[in-house]
Amino acid sequence: MQTLEQKSTKRAWAGAIAKPATEFPLTQLPILSGSIPQGLQGTLYRNGPARLERGGVHMGHWFDGDGAILAVNFTDAGATGVYRYVQTAGYQEEAAAGKLLYGNYGMTAPGPIWNQWRKPVKNAANTSVLALPDKLLALWEGGKPHALDLQTLETWGEDDLGGLTAGLSYSAHDKCDPQTGEIFNFGISPGKNATLNIYKSNSTGKIIQKAAYQLDGVPLVHDFVLAGQYLVFFVPPVRMNVLPMLVGMSNYSDSLKWQPEIGTQVLVIDRETLSLVSRGQTEAWYQWHFANGYVDANGSVIVDIARYEDFQTNQYLKEVGTGETHTPAKSTLTRVHLNPQTGKVTEIQQLLDRHCEFPGVPQQNVGQASRYTYMSSFRQESDISQEILNTIARFDHSTETFTEADLGENRYCSEPIHVQNAQNSEQSWVVTVVYDGNTHSSEVWVYDSDRLDEKPVCKLGLPSVIPPSFHGTWKPA
Annotated binding-site ranges for Fe cation? 173, 222, 289, 471
Alpha-carbon distance 466 to 444, whole Å?
10
The one-letter code for the residue type at 402 is F
Contacts of 276 (CB under 8 A, 6+ apart): 213, 267, 268, 269, 270
Cα 64 to chain centroid distance, Å, stands at 14
Phi, psi of 138 (to 5 degrees): -90, 120
Give the 3-state secondary structure of residue 439: coil
In this structure, what DSSP letter does residue 210 have?
Answer: E
Cα 150 to chain centroid distance, Å, stands at 19
Could you tell me where the beta strands, DSSP code E, fall in 228-364? Answer: 230-235, 238-240, 256-258, 264-270, 276-282, 286-295, 301-308, 331-339, 344-355, 357-360
In this structure, what DSSP letter does residue 62 have?
Answer: G
Alpha-carbon distance 406 to 416, whole Å?
14
Contacts of 96 (CB under 8 A, 6+ apart): none
Q: Which residues are annotated as a binding site?
A: 173, 222, 289, 471
Q: What angle do CA 460, 464, 468 make, to 5 degrees?
A: 85
Burial class of residue 192 in the structure, from the number of CB atoms within 10 Å of its CB (0-12 exposed, 13-18 middle, 19+ buried): exposed
Q: 152: how many CB neighbours lie within 10 A of its CB?
A: 12
Contact assessment for residue 210 and residue 197, using Cβ atoms and an 8 Å cutoff: yes
The strand pairing partners of 429, in sequence order, are 419, 448
Q: How far is CA 318 from CA 88, 235, 313, in A?
A: 23, 21, 9
Q: 11: how many CB neighbours lie within 10 A of its CB?
A: 18
Using alpha carbons, select from 265, 245, 263, 262 the residue that is nearest to residue 254. Answer: 245
Contacts of 89 (CB under 8 A, 6+ apart): 123
The strand pairing partners of 226, in sequence order, are 231
